[in-house]
């Protein structure tokens, strides 16, 4: 007979907080940005899996927004290195995409291992980068990843949006 603990799928629960942005929509007169967060390419469906998508509030007429960490902290379960965590910065004024950040499975795994609890700027890229071979600055988003599951990462409570307890297997 298989125990209940053994029949549960293996995953790493983590939180990502979208704290802010800078230089969003630098080539437009004004923007009202928000960031959507989504896990893509999920191969394993888990009963009760929630919060695969989230989004920040719209920051009206602001190229350098600061978002409330309580409203912009999203929980995900990382299950497989084929998953991609995608951040898409949108402009609510004209429904355009300002930039995209894709963090693929192995890179996400390293971030959760080595940078849990740290706040860091990540550059946005254009979804289909082909602007005459020139590098275009689309702005950055300020993120914090928090996890202490399975990797024995020690995170001080004062530096966390949400404190995780226990380990999942």
pLDDT digits (tens, 9 = 90+) for 60-85: 999 999 998 888 998 887 777 778 89
Mind listing the pLDDT tens digit for each residue in 133-152? 566 778 999 999 998 654 43
Query: pTM of this prediction?
Result: 0.74
48 has pLDDT over 70:
no
Token reading at 43: 């191969």
Q: What rounded mean pLDDT belongs to the chain?
A: 75
Structure tokens at 33: 């940005």
Place of tokens 């355009």: 96
- Examine the pLDDT at 13 and tell me if it is beyond 80: yes
pLDDT at 32: 92
Neighbours of 63 (CB within 10 A): 18
Selection from 101, 72, 98 nearest residue 87 by Cα: 101
pLDDT confidence of residue 8 = 52
Q: How far apart are CA 93 and CA 61, in angstroms?
A: 9
Beta bridge partner(s), residue 16? 74, 145
């Amino acid at each position: 007979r298989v125990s209940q603990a053994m029949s549960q799928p293996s995953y790493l629960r983590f939180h990502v907080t979208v704290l802010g942005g800078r230089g969003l929509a630098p080539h437009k007169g004004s923007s009202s940005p928000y960031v959507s967060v989504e896990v893509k390419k999920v191969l394993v469906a888990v009963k009760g899996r929630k919060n695969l998508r989230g989004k920040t509030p719209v920051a009206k007429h602001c190229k350098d927004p600061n978002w409330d960490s309580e409203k912009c902290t999203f929980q995900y379960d990382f299950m497989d290195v084929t998953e991609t965590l995608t951040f898409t910065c949108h402009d609510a004024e004209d429904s355009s995409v300002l930039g995209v950040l894709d963090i693929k499975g192995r890179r996400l795994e390293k971030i959760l291992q080595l940078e849990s609890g740290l706040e860091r700027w990540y550059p946005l890229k254009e979804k289909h980068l082909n602007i005459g071979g020139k590098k275009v600055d689309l702005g950055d988003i300020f993120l914090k990843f928090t996890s202490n599951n399975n990797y024995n990462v020690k995170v001080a409570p004062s530096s966390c949006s949400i404190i995780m307890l226990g380990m999942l297997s």
